[in-house]
Amino acid sequence: MNAEGAGPGSRLEVVSTVEALRARLRGEASVVLVPTMGNLHAGHLALVAEARRHGSCVVASIFVNRLQFEPGGDFDRYPRTLERDCELLAAAGCHVVFAPGESELYPEPQEIRLAPPKAAEQLCGEFRPGHFEGVVTVVAKLFNIVAPHTAVFGRKDYQQLFVIRTLVRQMNYPVRIVGVDTVREPDGLAMSSRNGYLSSEERTKAVRLGRELRAVKAAIESGRRDHEALCEIATANLTAAGWRVDYVALRNQSGLAVPGPADRDLVVLGAAWLGRTRLIDNLEIRA
C-alpha cells in the first residue's frame, strides 16, 4: 500500500510484515520510530513532526497491543482507522508505516515478557494490572524490529515515558528517547485517542481534569507544600463533578517518587473516569 506524502516526491510506504519492514529499512542511515496504536490525532502528528527533526526516515508503527490492555479494558472497542491514519501520516511527511497484524507480532503466545521497573507499580500501574509489562514488551519488540536510533513518545503518557526511558537505560538499547509536549484542544483538554469515546456532555466536562491539575500546579508554584491536601481537593472536586478518580498525585520528575523537601522538579498526574472513558493528564511543576 502506498499513499502520497506531503514532501516533494515523498511517498508513504505501508508494510505489515517484519521481513518487509527490515527489507525496506536496509541501508537507511537514520531511522526514527514513532510507536502508536493508531486512531491518530494532532498529538501523534506532533510526534511525527519532531521525529523528522531527528532522522531521514520516519517509521510510525500502528499496532493495538493486546498485551497492554487490562482484563475488561477497551481492547475490542479501540478504534482501528488504518486508512485515515495513513492519510494523516502521509500528509505529515512520515516515510514508512509498520502496521502488523496480531499474528505477525505475536505469532505464538508471548511467553517472554519484560518486567517493568518498580515505578510502574504505582499510579496507572496500580489501576491497570499488566499494562506496563505489555508496553515494555511491545516497545522492546519494536526496537528490535525497527532498530531506530531515536524513538519519539508523548509526554501525556508521563509514566509510560519514564518506564520506557528506564527500559532503554537498563537494557542498553542504543535508542535515544525524545519526549514531546502534550498537544491540547483549544479548551485545554489533552488530546487522546480515547476522547472520541466521550458523549458531548462528557466532552464538555472533560476539561475539568486539566483544570484541577492546573490548580494544584498554581498552588505549589505560589509556595504551598501541602501536596497531599492539594491532591485531595482536586480529587474531591472531580468526584463532586461526577468523575470516578483513580488518582491525583504529586511525584518528583527524577524517579516518579513521592517528593521530599529537597525536590523542586515535580509533576502532578491524574487519571479519572468520565462514564466509561478513562482520561489521564499531567503537568510539570517547578516548586
Q: Which residues of the shown chain bind ligand PAF in the complex (CB under 6 A)?
A: 35-37, 65, 68, 135, 138-139, 157, 160
The DSSP H or E segment spanning 53 is none
Catalytic residue among 41, 44, 54, 131: 44
Locate 264 and state its grid cell: 523542586
44 catalytic per annotation? yes
Query: Closest distance between ligand PAF and the C-beta of residue 234, in Å?
Result: 24
70 sits in which H/E element: none
Residue ranges of E strands in the chain? 2-4, 11-15, 31-36, 57-62, 96-98, 150-154, 176-180, 244-252, 265-274, 277-286
Q: Which of 95, 192, 112, 187 lies closest to 146, judged by CA?
A: 95
Min. distance of Cβ 151 from ligand PAF in angstroms?
Answer: 9
Please name every residue paired with 62 in a beta bridge, in sequence order, or none if there are none: 36
Q: Are 206 and 195 in contact (CB under 8 A)?
A: yes
Cell numbers 519514564 correspond to what residue? 162
Grid cell digits, residue 266: 515535580
Are 6 and 91 a contacting pair, CB within 8 Å? yes
- The catalytic residue positions are 44
